[in-house]
């Protein structure tokens, strides 16, 4: 990535010097690129957001023409909203961004003319428009290369968490904690000292889960662990060197470590008494797991008065506990329901289909050890294969396996959503 940044910086500065005779614009685009990379999210809407905010500041500081600053902020915000919530096709995002920048350059230029600061010169306007293209083309290519190599982030869902649970159960039950090392203690949400004092000397007796929460049980205490976006557990020899993002290290009595690694540091751990698990707020508010005691009546009663989309409702963990973006797309496809339908339009019969298909898909995905569509694996020697059975998720612009219509991708509740416009109603 550093090589690509250096190349893009070099090329854009050449263009900037030739066309604008200024280093300001190239540096402005480069900073937006660096910011979007630093937050570990190469998504184009993040780049656009930084570009808009930086452009706003640039116009205020560099031009002192506040109407241009507001113009950039206004048009840029519409562009970000379009790319985030209306369209998620990467090429369309790119094209729309170029159109946004051209619109801004044209309006910017005519404001200068109206203020008497410039005379109309089509050649100058053309050069200004051309100056915006290189860095965006380079960024587009970098992003496509990045996504093709690493894929997009996604949060482990119920089948993936069960896979981690089963793998951990085989490797740590019966092992006693000799020591605990914090390399970043922000993961621990209980008292840090008590966490250590209580757990050292305790033996793992079981590993369980409820939805996306892992329960690491040790006698009368349990560690509640949520992996969030990138949390992973590893079993490694205690003599092996620590990796950069291995934050919590449990030294075990057999000479191995249970290491919690989290690149984004979003994961959390609580220490609670085992008998009190069900009263912990984070657990008590959760709904029913999709393949357990779910009924059509339960689903209907939870959603039939709601103006939210069915996609958002099924992602609500207080309603159904364990569904995530991948499996909700698949369940709605199997149930023949458009993800944009409102909860109050879903019939009791459709709730029955959601129940049946939800249970079937979660059970099958669990048997397949989950879905691996980017860097996610259980990190404990197993890898999911349910991606082979995906009908719509990640299949944008490919033919529907049922009817042959092209699968579409849109945004619902801010989440990338895949569906077949013919099979789903």
CA distance 405 to 408: 9
Q: Where in the chain is the domain with CATH 3.20.190.10?
A: 158-284
Q: Quick one: how far is CA 316 from the chain centroid?
A: 16
Q: Is 212 a catalytic residue?
A: yes
Asked whether 82 and 44 are in contact (CB, 8 A), the reply is no
Q: What is the pLDDT of residue 150?
A: 40
Q: What is the pLDDT of residue 100?
A: 62
From the candidates 12, 157, 160, 230, give the one annotated as an active-site residue.
Answer: 157
Q: What is the pLDDT of residue 15?
A: 45
From the candidates 26, 156, 290, 339, give the one annotated as an active-site residue.
Answer: 156
Residue 330 tokens read as 């698949």
Q: Is 261 a catalytic residue?
A: no
Asked whether 295 and 320 are in contact (CB, 8 A), the reply is no
Q: What angle do CA 319, 400, 163 make, to 5 degrees?
A: 45
Q: What is the pLDDT of residue 39?
A: 39
Residue 281 CB neighbour total at 10 angstroms: 6
For the chain, what's the residue count? 425
Side by side, which strands form the sheet with 221-226?
204-210, 213-218, 221-226, 268-273
Q: Is 237 a catalytic residue?
A: no
Element at 339 (helix H, strand E)? none
Phi, psi (5° rounding) for residue 150? -110, -15
Instruction: pLDDT tens for the chain, 425 residues: list them.
Output: 344 344 444 444 444 444 444 444 445 555 544 444 443 343 444 544 555 555 555 555 555 445 545 555 555 555 555 554 454 455 555 566 666 666 666 766 676 666 665 565 666 556 555 555 555 555 555 555 544 444 444 578 999 999 999 999 999 999 999 999 999 999 999 999 999 999 999 999 999 999 999 999 998 999 999 998 889 999 999 999 999 899 999 999 999 999 999 988 889 999 999 999 999 999 999 999 999 999 999 999 999 999 999 999 999 999 999 999 999 999 999 999 999 999 999 999 999 999 999 999 999 999 998 887 544 445 566 678 899 999 999 999 999 999 999 999 998 987 889 999 999 99
Is 12 exposed, middle or buried, given 0-12, 13-18 or 19+ CB atoms closer than 10 A? buried
CA distance 73 to 277: 48
Q: Where in the chain is the domain with CATH 1.10.8.50?
A: 296-419
Nearest CA to 120 out of 129, 109, 131 is that of: 109
CA distance 10 to 51: 19
The CATH architecture assigned to 158-284 reads Alpha-Beta Barrel (3.20)
Instruction: Answer left, alpha or beta for residue 322, where phi above 0 means left and psi between -120 and 50 means alpha.
Output: left
CA distance 296 to 353: 8
Q: What is the pLDDT of residue 44?
A: 46
Q: What is the pLDDT of residue 61?
A: 54
Q: What is the pLDDT of residue 422?
A: 97
CA distance 123 to 19: 11
Find tokens 């119920």 and name the residue: 158
From the candidates 46, 84, 162, 212, give the one annotated as an active-site residue.
Answer: 212
Q: Is 40 a catalytic residue?
A: no
Residue 33 tokens read as 């690129």
Q: What is the pLDDT of residue 273?
A: 97
Q: What is the pLDDT of residue 419?
A: 97
Q: What angle do CA 164, 169, 172 make, to 5 degrees?
A: 110
CATH fold of 296-419: Helicase, Ruva Protein; domain 3 (1.10.8)
What does DSSP say about strands 268-273 and 221-226: parallel, antiparallel, or unpaired? antiparallel
Write the CA distances from 8 to 13, 14, 144, 259, 409, integer angstroms. Answer: 8, 10, 15, 38, 30
Is 276 exposed, middle or buried, given 0-12, 13-18 or 19+ CB atoms closer than 10 A? exposed
Side by side, which strands form the sheet with 231-237?
177-182, 246-252, 256-262, 231-237
Q: What is the pLDDT of residue 219?
A: 85
């Amino acid at each position: 990535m550093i090589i690509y940044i250096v190349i893009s910086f070099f090329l854009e500065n050449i263009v900037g010097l030739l066309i604008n005779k200024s280093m300001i614009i190239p540096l402005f685009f480069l900073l937006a690129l660096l910011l979007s990379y630093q937050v570990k999210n190469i998504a184009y809407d993040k780049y656009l957001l930084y570009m808009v905010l930086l452009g706003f500041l640039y116009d205020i500081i560099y031009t002192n023409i506040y109407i241009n600053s507001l113009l950039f902020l206004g048009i840029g915000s519409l562009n970000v909203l379009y790319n985030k919530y209306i369209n998620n096709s990467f090429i369309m995002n790119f094209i729309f961004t170029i159109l946004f920048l051209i619109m801004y350059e044209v309006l910017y230029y005519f404001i200068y003319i109206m203020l008497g600061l410039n005379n109309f010169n089509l050649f100058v306007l053309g050069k200004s428009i051309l100056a915006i293209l290189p860095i965006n083309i380079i960024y587009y290519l970098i992003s496509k290369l990045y996504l093709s190599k690493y894929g997009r982030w996604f949060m482990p869902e119920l089948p993936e968490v069960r896979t981690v649970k089963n793998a951990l159960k085989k490797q740590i039950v019966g092992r006693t904690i000799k020591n605990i090392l914090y390399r970043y203690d922000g993961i621990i949400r209980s008292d840090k000292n008590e966490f250590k004092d209580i757990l050292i000397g305790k033996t793992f007796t079981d590993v369980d889960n409820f939805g996306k929460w892992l329960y690491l049980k040790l006698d009368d205490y349990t560690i509640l662990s949520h992996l969030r976006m990138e949390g992973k557990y590893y079993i490694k020899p205690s003599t092996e060197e620590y990796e950069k993002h291995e934050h919590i290290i449990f030294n075990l009595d057999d000479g191995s470590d249970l290491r919690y690694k989290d690149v984004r540091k979003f994961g959390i751990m609580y220490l609670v008494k085992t008998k009190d698990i069900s009263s912990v707020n984070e657990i008590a508010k959760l709904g029913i797991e999709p393949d357990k005691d779910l009924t059509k009546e339960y689903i209907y009663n939870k959603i039939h008065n709601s103006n939210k989309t069915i996609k958002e409702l099924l992602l609500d963990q207080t309603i159904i506990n364990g569904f995530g973006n991948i499996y909700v797309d698949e369940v709605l496809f199997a149930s023949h329901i458009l993800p944009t339908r409102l909860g109050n339009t879903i019939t009791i019969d459709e709730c029955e289909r959601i129940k049946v298909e939800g249970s079937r898909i979660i059970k099958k995905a669990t048997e397949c050890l989950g879905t691996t569509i980017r860097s996610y694996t259980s990190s404990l020697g197993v890898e999911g294969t349910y991606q082979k059975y995906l009908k719509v998720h990640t299949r944008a612009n490919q033919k529907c396996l049922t009817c042959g219509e092209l699968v579409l991708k849109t945004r619902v509740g801010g989440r990338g959503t895949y569906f077949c416009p013919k099979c789903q109603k």
